[in-house]
Amino acid sequence: MNARERSPWWRGAVLYQVYPRSFQDTDGDGIGDLAGVVRHLDHIASLGVDGVWISPFFRSPMRDFGYDVSDFRAVDPVFGTLADFDALVVAAHARGLRVVIDQIYAHSSIDHPWFTESRDSRANPKADWYVWADPKPDGMPPNNWQSVFGGPAWTWDGRRRQYYMHTFLKEQPQLNVRNPAVQDALLAVAEFWLRRGVDGFRLDALNHAMVDPALRDNPPADDDGPRTRPFDFQQKLHSQSQPEILDFIERISALCDRHGAIFTLAEVGGAAPEAEQKAYTAGTRRLSAAYNFDFLGAPSLDADFVAKTLAPWCDGEGEPCWAFENHDAPRALSRWATAETMRPFARMKMALLLALRGNVVLYQGEELGLEQDEIPYALLQDPEAIANWPLTLSRDGARTPMPWTDGPNGGFSEGTPWLPLGAANRARAVSVQAADEASLLALTRRLLACRRETPALRVGRLDGLHADGALLAFDRVVEGQRIRCLFNLGSETLVMAGAGHVLFAVNGATVDVLPAFSAAYLVVAPA
């Protein structure tokens, strides 16, 4: 039995993220649905990924497109029914795909019955289920905390004559996860979905789930990072990342352990999140992996940046999960490549992503090389982009419909899509690339097969990491197998004293020559 066979299914697994609103519309309303996910499970399975992560489909007023949940146990009608979800799980499992879904524990919708009861009075069974606070003597909010979407993280509620907290929209009140009754209710939600057959959870905004009970002011930011929102002007010492969250994490882990090999992925952001990410995934009583944001926020990609980002994970402590794209970040190729370099860069980028230690997430359309769609202000749907226009890039540009064909609406819908799909991305459609062995889609399938079949790439440690100009190099090592991963992130050819033989080459790479934007996996003698 090799290292891969001894590991849980999720160790080194690759997940495909589906943003169901934009994946496939089957009823002509312009919005994707769960039946649309089922329709294209064969495409996902053909890539060779291990599972599918489905972004929120729960009942919601959609002020933040599903991350404001009004019923954690129901499917929103726009996406279908619980029966549709059950059918999706069965269909995915029949294709060997695991199913991972979001769990949102930091907040709910303002329309959730829990909040309706909580705001009714200061003396009811759920009065302490959300973060409430009295005003200052002058009527101002209790502290200086700011919300991600702009303005104070506090909104006045006339019924209770108190402020309630919200890290995001005012329609997303903060749950008081310090309250054991709230924890019990959230764990009951997890149990509900586990009994429906899910294989894992992505725990959204998990380090936002508890705040300082004394509600102390946050200090000013002490770095020179960008300042596009009031939220960016503070160190979030007291409004997130509280140490007591670890006890709740262990309760989550214990529940999932009772259901077998359940994957738990913590979304942990912040200015310097590595210590927190490692704490959340330490030992056997906590979570499986931590979702990393460094590449999602990077405006450019160079070898030195990649090496510095990977370095904290070389010691084998904790389990990272990497993504270059998702529903909250502009498409990577629009951030990192020019029109002239986009095609070779996309191929090298895919080889880099699939060589990383830990879990990997491919965002829908990434296997096609989609770029950021430009959405005019009049058509924006994203509340963050509208609130901060034009200082933040719209998330809508990465949420446009998946192009299945190069025909009208990319084969996404027979109605008017909720967001427009640009011509450049329609030209990259699945139908266009499916029969082309030189396409990015075909390359992605081959790279995924290589990772799946090579234990060092899937579960090996990261060793020998270094950057030298445009050259990035590291080894993946396990049980007598060493794979040297070389990447040229620049536009000039690199000549080296190579060793070993080529396992996989991208853009003409050889043992000792790396053309512009190329990559090579080399089999070398183990140390």
Catalytic site residues? 204, 267
Nearest Cα to Cα of residue 452 among 89, 5, 91? 5
Q: 67 CB contacts (<8 Å, ≥6 apart)?
A: 56, 60, 104, 168, 172, 204
Closest C-alpha to 12, from 480, 475, 460, 509: 460
C-alpha dist (Å) from residue 307 to 109, 302, 321, 384: 40, 9, 16, 31
State both tokens at 495.
């000549």
CB 191 within 8 A of CB 255: yes
3-state helix, strand, coil split of the chain in percent (to 5) is 30, 20, 50
Give which of 372, 348, 370, 317 is closest to 470, Cα–Cα: 348
Positive or negative, the CA dihedral 24, 26, 32, 37 is: negative
Q: What is the DSSP string of 257-292?
A: HTTSS-EEEEE--SSS-HHHHHHHT-SSSS-SEEE-
What distance in Å separates the CA atoms of residue 373 and residue 393, rounded to the nearest whole number? 11
Distance CA 16, CA 144 (A): 39
CA distance 40 to 243: 41
